[in-house]
């Protein structure tokens, strides 16, 4: 039997309704969306319908959506794009140390090219103080890039307040909202975000599809073409359009929007059941991330008194993550846990749990039992080894 999947931050299975919608676009409706004939028209109509579905989820207009291969591309496009387009206005970028690497690494690359980057410190829950963001802004600042929901510890940055500051100071605001879509309301009508990144595979759509929202009115954001070629996506992102992926992404957004309220309540109840179950059965457990300002599907815990290196391999029946999945090949302690002051030893003995659309109560109860049994066994082993030594 496969382990219980509690790693929805890493990726989600495609919803069967998404797969059904995508299926004809691999075969009978295989056209290239750029072709003028009926095959092409069929494909481009489906892409435009998906653009409306994506826009509708975040309260944007369809012409503000650029399809990409995922959020890594969207984040790179946003950061390098703004840096290139607005270089004559200034060379300063504001971000935080707990962003995803697809934001941090472009910022670091720009630093090597002469940009100045301020990493505004986060508090012990991983949240930036909007006033610190305000203080970091100089007359050279062209971009603020901060994520909506942290992909490791689930903490929410105060995005609405930061948007107001960015607007007031006339600084462009980019937000990586990959882990927010479907978990917290993302409404661009009321929140002053200028660029926003999304990824289909984090919301029950396929891998390899994503979007960048680019505000078109007050202010109109312009970025240069990042991929040159046949001029698809308004010339910003050339390359034959991934029609099936985009159709799936659109459907995933429509389902997320339709089911949002009930699903958030359900996820929160499952996450709290997991948390309460573990805390009721184990001492020496600490919660990482903000106690209330966090994604409803995230639980991040550190377990005292065990050797963290063996924790994940002992936990064969539950699929969770020890840090960000994207950096799981490296043995470095998570940069997010470091930034919130968790020491290396405890960081190694930490687990990220994330529940999702297909998680059921029975799985949570089994996971509680497995996690508690495993941690108790590891603690006993640790104690025995220390007594023998």
Report if residue 145 touches ligand PMP, rule: CB under 6 A: no
**Binding test (CB under 6 A) with ligand PMP, winner from 21, 51, 92, 100:** 100
Q: Are strands 298-303 and 350-354 parallel, antiparallel or unpaired?
A: antiparallel
Is residue 326 flagged as an active site residue? yes
Pick the piece of the chain touching ligand PMP (CB under 6 A) from 46-54, 70-78, 229-237, 360-368.
70-78
Q: Which positions from 285 through 344 interact with ligand PMP, judged by CB under 6 A?
A: 326
Taking the least distance from each CB to ligand PMP, the nearer of 71 and 77 is 71
Report if residue 70 touches ligand PMP, rule: CB under 6 A: yes
Residue nearest to ligand PMP (CB): 70
Report if residue 205 touches ligand PMP, rule: CB under 6 A: no
CA dist 93 → 36, 86, 97, 134, 220 (Å): 42, 11, 13, 12, 19
Taking the least distance from each CB to ligand PMP, the nearer of 237 and 379 is 237
Taking the least distance from each CB to ligand PMP, the nearer of 199 and 288 is 199
Q: Does residue 219 have a cis peptide bond before it, meaning omega lies within 30 degrees of 0?
A: yes
Taking the least distance from each CB to ligand PMP, the nearer of 71 and 156 is 71
Q: Which positions from 152 through 171 interact with ligand PMP, judged by CB under 6 A?
A: none
Report if residue 141 touches ligand PMP, rule: CB under 6 A: no
Report, in Å, the least distance between residue 106 CB and ligand PMP. Answer: 11
Report if residue 151 touches ligand PMP, rule: CB under 6 A: yes
Tell me the backbone φ, ψ of residue 149, rounded to 5 degrees. Answer: -125, 130
Q: Which positions from 169 through 198 interact with ligand PMP, judged by CB under 6 A?
A: 176, 178-179
**Binding test (CB under 6 A) with ligand PMP, winner from 31, 210, 245, 356:** 210
Q: Which residues bind ligand PMP (CB under 6 A)?
A: 70-72, 100, 102, 147, 151, 176, 178-179, 199, 210, 326
Catalytic residues: 326
């Amino acid at each position: 039997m496969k382990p219980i999947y509690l790693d929805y931050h890493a990726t989600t299975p495609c919803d069967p309704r998404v797969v059904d919608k995508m299926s004809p676009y691999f075969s009978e409706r295989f056209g290239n969306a750029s072709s003028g004939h009926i095959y092409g028209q069929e494909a481009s109509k489906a892409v435009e319908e998906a653009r409306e579905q994506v826009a509708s989820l975040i309260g944007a207009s369809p012409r503000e959506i650029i399809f990409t291969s995922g959020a890594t591309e969207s984040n790179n496009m946003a950061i390098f794009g703004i840096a290139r387009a607005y270089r004559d206005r200034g060379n300063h970028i504001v971000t935080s140390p707990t962003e995803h690497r697809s934001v941090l690494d472009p910022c670091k690359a720009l630093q090597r090219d002469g940009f100045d980057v301020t990493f505004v410190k986060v508090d012990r829950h991983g949240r930036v103080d909007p006033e610190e963001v305000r203080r970091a802004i100089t007359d050279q600042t062209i971009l603020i890039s901060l994520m909506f929901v942290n992909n490791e510890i689930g903490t929410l940055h105060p995005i609405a307040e930061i948007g107001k500051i960015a607007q007031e100071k006339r600084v462009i605001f980019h937000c990586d909202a990959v882990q927010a879509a479907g978990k917290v309301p993302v409404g661009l009508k009321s929140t002053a975000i200028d660029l926003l990144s999304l990824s289909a595979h984090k919301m029950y759509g396929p891998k390899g599809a994503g979007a960048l929202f680019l505000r078109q009115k007050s202010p109109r954001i312009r970025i240069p073409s990042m991929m040159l070629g046949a001029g698809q996506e308004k010339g910003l992102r050339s390359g034959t359009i991934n029609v099936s992926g985009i159709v799936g992404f659109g459907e995933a957004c429509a389902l997320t929007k339709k089911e949002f309220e009930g699903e958030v309540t359900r996820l929160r109840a499952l996450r709290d059941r997991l948390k309460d179950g573990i805390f009721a059965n184990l001492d020496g457990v600490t919660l990482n991330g903000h106690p209330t300002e966090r994604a409803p599907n995230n639980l991040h815990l550190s377990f005292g008194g065990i050797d963290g290196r063996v924790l994940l391999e002992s936990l064969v029946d539950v699929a969770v993550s020890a840090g960000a999945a994207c950096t799981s090949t490296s043995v470095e302690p998570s940069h997010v846990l470091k930034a919130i002051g968790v020491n290396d030893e405890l960081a190694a003995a930490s687990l990220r749990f994330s529940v999702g659309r297909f998680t059921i109560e029975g799985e949570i109860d089994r996971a509680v039992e497995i996690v508690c049994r495993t941690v108790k066994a590891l603690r006993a082993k640790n104690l025995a080894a220390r007594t023998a030594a």
